Amino acid sequence: MWRITVANTCIASGSCVGIAPERFELDDVAGRAHPLTTDVDPDEAVLDAVASCPMEAISVVDLATGEPVEV
């Protein structure tokens, strides 16, 4: 299981939402994106979203090891 976190450095570019709309959505009030579900099964689309983020604001941790998931 992975845990997805979006830092407050997010600038709401929407890249993650465009790449993985089933994983991320934009919160217009907060002015940033957030994961639809925080804890998910491993999913390549999440890593694609991480790689697309211009602010490197998305982090993914493997809950089994506590280590960051490499993109």
Where do contacts with ligand SF4 occur on this chain (CB under 6 A)? Answer: 6, 10-16, 32-33, 52-55, 57-58
Q: Please report how close the Cβ of residue 67 comes to ligand SF4 at its closest, in angstroms.
A: 21
Which tokens belong to 27? 């919160």
- Cα angle vertex 64, ends 16, 47, to 5°? 20
Query: Least distance from C-beta 64 to ligand SF4, angstroms?
Result: 24
Cβ closer to ligand SF4: 6 or 47?
Answer: 6
Residue 2 or 32 with smaller CB distance to ligand SF4: 32
